[in-house]
Every structure is written in C-alpha cells, then in structure tokens.
Chains A and B, each alone.
Chain A
Amino acid sequence: MTVNEVAQILGASIITKEADTAREVKGGYTCDLLSWVMAHGREGMAWTTVQTHMNVIAVASLHDMSCVIIPEGIHMENDVIEKADEEGICVLASELTAFEICGRLAAAGIGAC
C-alpha cells in the first residue's frame, strides 16, 4: 500500500508538498516517546504521533520511514513541514484519533513492521 492510499483510507490530507506519496508503507506504529520510536522504528513505517516538532522528522528520517501521521487535527508548523519535504518524509494530517488511525490501517491489512 502507498502513502497516497493510506491518506485515502484515513481521509487525511497530505500536508507535505514534495515528498513522494507513492512510497510504499511497510507497516504501522504509534508512540509519542521518541527514544522508544528510535529503538523500534523500521524502514517504510507509517508512524502516528501527537508530537509535531522538528525532532519527529529527524527520527522518521533516520529510520527512512514512509510517512508521519498527525492525529486529531493537531497543527504542525510550516518549518517542520518544510523539513519533512527536504528529508522526503510525507506528513499526513488526520482528524481521527491515533486509536482510530491504527484501527483503520490494521483493518486495511497494514501490520506491524
């Protein structure tokens, strides 16, 4: 499944402009503790987190994740979105809760990496 398809399933908007939305999503994850994500992150992961600062992009990029999903309509600053574009990480903004996001992705066949 691609990042584009994930966005469709979630009714989420893709707020990055350049990052590749055709990238393959290899699995899902959710956690807001950055060290935890750093320890368990995998290449191609779609990561759902309420954190929206620069370091989210650093962690996603170090793991070559496919996208970051921000739940509950939380706002991400423009400079962070620009950084994500630079690093080639798609950011999806969703109105759903992290719980609902994971539920929908799991139902669509996305597993843990």
Chain B
Amino acid sequence: MSIIREEYPVEAMDFVTAGEASAQIKRMLKKLGVDPGVIRRLAIACYEAEINLVIHSDGGKLTLELNPDNVTLKSDDVGPGIPDIDLAMSEGYSTASDDVRMMGFGAGMGLANMARNADHFRIDSKVGEGTSIEMIFDIKK
C-alpha cells in the first residue's frame, strides 16, 4: 500500500496553470525529504507529462504514489491517443501546432525525457480513446 496517493487534474490547453501540478508535486516530495536527485528526475518527467496533457489530450490527470521504495507517477487522459508509439517516442517527432511551438513547446523531446529520467517507463495508448503512462522512480538507498 502506498504511503501517500494524490491526484492532480490537468486541463487541455490551459497554459496559465500548466506546470502547477509538477510544482506542487515537487514541493511535496521536498517536504517529505525525498532524495534531491530523484526529485529532479521526477520533476522533469512530471512536467513533460503535464505539458503533454495540456497540448495533446482533451484533459486528464496525474497521479502520484509515494511507496516505501519508489515514487510512482501516472498520467491518464482522454484524447486522440497515439497511433505509432515508437515514432512518438523518437526525439524530435512532434504533432504540436505552430501556435504551441511558438511558445517553445513541441520540441518532440517529452516522451524521450520521461523514459530517460524514470527507472521504469510504460506507455499504453488507444487511438480515439486516450493515453496512459506509468513511471516509477526508485528511492532505495
């Protein structure tokens, strides 16, 4: 059973609060005394997941679970899904709109950054339904 489980709803195309969930998660882990290296990796991955919910999905949520030996972060959304996951995972590939790119998003590095920073990374997606990502960050000393 997890020690702490928190859910953070994330709205599509809300650029004002985008990043808030990641900031809250980071603050909480810091207070709980989680290793700064783990927090850094998790913050990077969490931010990328959150931004993807904002720019690619129709809305979703992040779920954080603090377990005795890991922190698990899930991203679940309702949305278009990803037709070719291997392609989407490759660095530089992005379907972001020009407007979104003008803001500095859409570098096509998000999924790769998540996979690189998490100790375990799993992604499931159904076209026309949505996308689920699970990332585990080990905190064993």
Contacts and interface: CB of A to CB of B under 8 A. Distances in A.
Given A58-B23, A61-B23, A62-B47, A35 B18 contact: no
Interface residues of B, number: 22
Interface residues of A, number: 20
Interface stretch (B68-76, B81-89, B100-108): B100-108
Contact of A55 (B19, B43, B107, B113): B19
A33 B110 CA distance: 11
A10 interface: no
A30 B110 CA distance: 19
B97 to A, nearest CB: 15
Contacts of A49: 104
B107 A58 contact: no
Q: B19, B26, B47, B109 — which one has the most chain A CB atoms within 10 A of its CB?
A: B19
Given A32-B104, A35-B113, A54 B23 contact: no
Contacts of B104: 32-34, 49, 51, 55-56
A63 B105 CA distance: 17
Contacts, number: 64
Chain B interface helix/strand/loop/mixed: helix
Contacts of B48: 35, 38
A107 interface: no
Chain A interface helix/strand/loop/mixed: helix
Contacts of B108: 35
Contact of A58 (B22, B40, B109, B113): B22
A59 B19 contact: yes
Nearest to A62: B43
Q: A34, A53, A56 — which one has the most chain B CB atoms within 10 A of its CB?
A: A34
Interface in A39-68: 39, 49, 51, 53-59, 61-63
B23 A36 contact: no
Interface string A64-78: 000000000000000
Given A32-B104, A34-B104, A53 B15 contact: yes
Contacts of A36: 107, 109
22 contacts: A32-B104, A34-B51, A34-B103, A35-B107, A35-B108, A35-B109, A36-B109, A38-B47, A51-B103, A53-B15, A54-B16, A54-B18, A55-B51, A55-B103, A58-B20, A58-B22, A58-B23, A58-B47, A59-B19, A62-B19, A62-B44, A62-B47
